[in-house]
């Protein structure tokens, strides 16, 4: 029978099965390793990124941040931290001050100093961004914003700028040649 202080279980159920997870092989199959974010977190990420992008475009007035563009936002699973990736339209490596330096060491120092100014400016504007995000996103606790430079996005921005400039040049040249071809097209349509 049962010893004093112990409960006898019916139906052969042992104590180890109550409230504990069993063998991992008994768990339902899933390709999800438990590390993916739920749909709520994905929606919050998207909403926060849109609002942050709007704030940088319209409300951040610091001249040191005029070239900063947020590229993505990742929330931690516990929603306490947000990793904000940003790119710079005009990277410090391509600035006139960096180009004016003669040695690579001097150039690196100038670039690091400019990046440090941008990071300090981002730290200064973070409280303002959090307050404005709180107005746009209803959350119990808004995550802390951590800014990181996205060099891949910077390369994409530079490539897009080059493509835009080339299209503009082609568009300026194209109307001149279209006017020359226009009479030929008019003659071709009037013949039949």
2: buried, middle or exposed (CB in 10 Å: 19+, 13-18, 0-12)? exposed
* CA atoms of 111 and 27, how far apart (whole Å): 53
Cβ density class 138-157: b for 16+ within 10 Å, e for less: eeeebbebebebbeebbeeb
Determine contact, residues 137/51, Cβ cutoff 8 Å: yes
The domain spanning residue 83 has which CATH number? 3.30.300.20
The total number of structural domains in the chain stands at 1
Q: Give residue 96's pLDDT.
A: 73
- Within-domain flag for 39: yes
- Within-domain flag for 184: no
Q: Give residue 147's pLDDT.
A: 94
- Within-domain flag for 189: no
Q: Where are the alpha helices (DSSP H) in the chain?
A: 39-58, 96-100, 104-136, 151-190
DSSP 37: P
- Within-domain flag for 188: no
- Within-domain flag for 29: no
* CA atoms of 59 and 125, how far apart (whole Å): 11
* CA atoms of 68 and 109, how far apart (whole Å): 20
Q: Give residue 136's pLDDT.
A: 84
- Within-domain flag for 81: yes
181: buried, middle or exposed (CB in 10 Å: 19+, 13-18, 0-12)? exposed
- Per the structure, the complete domain to which residue 142 belongs is given by 35-175
pLDDT digits (tens), the chain, 192 positions: 555 655 555 555 555 555 555 565 565 554 555 556 678 888 889 999 999 999 999 998 888 888 889 999 999 888 899 999 998 888 777 777 777 777 888 878 888 888 899 999 999 999 999 999 988 888 888 999 999 988 888 888 888 888 988 899 888 887 654 455 555 555 555 554
Global confidence as pTM? 0.62
- Within-domain flag for 58: yes
Q: Give residue 124's pLDDT.
A: 94
* CA atoms of 4 and 8, how far apart (whole Å): 10
SS3 60: coil
Q: Give residue 178's pLDDT.
A: 47
- The tokens of 12 are what? 């052969």
- Within-domain flag for 65: yes
């Amino acid at each position: 029978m049962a010893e004093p202080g112990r409960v006898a279980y019916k139906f052969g159920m042992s104590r180890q099965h109550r409230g504990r997870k069993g063998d991992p092989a008994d768990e339902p199959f899933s390709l999800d390793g438990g590390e993916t974010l739920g749909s709520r977190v994905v929606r919050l990420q998207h909403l926060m990124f849109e609002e942050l992008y709007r704030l940088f475009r319209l409300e951040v007035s610091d001249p040191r941040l005029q070239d900063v563009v947020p590229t993505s936002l990742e929330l931690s699973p516990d929603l306490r931290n947000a990793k904000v990736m940003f790119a710079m339209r005009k990277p410090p490596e391509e600035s006139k001050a960096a180009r004016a330096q003669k040695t690579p060491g001097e150039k690196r120092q100038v670039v690091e100093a400019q990046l440090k100014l941008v990071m300090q400016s981002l730290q200064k504007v973070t409280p303002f961004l959090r307050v404005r995000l709180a107005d746009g996103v209803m959350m119990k606790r808004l995550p802390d914003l951590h800014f990181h430079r996205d060099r891949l996005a910077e390369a994409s921005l530079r490539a897009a700028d080059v493509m835009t400039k080339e299209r503009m040049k082609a568009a300026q040249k194209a109307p001149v040649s279209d006017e020359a071809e226009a009479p030929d097209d008019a003659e071709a349509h009037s013949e039949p």
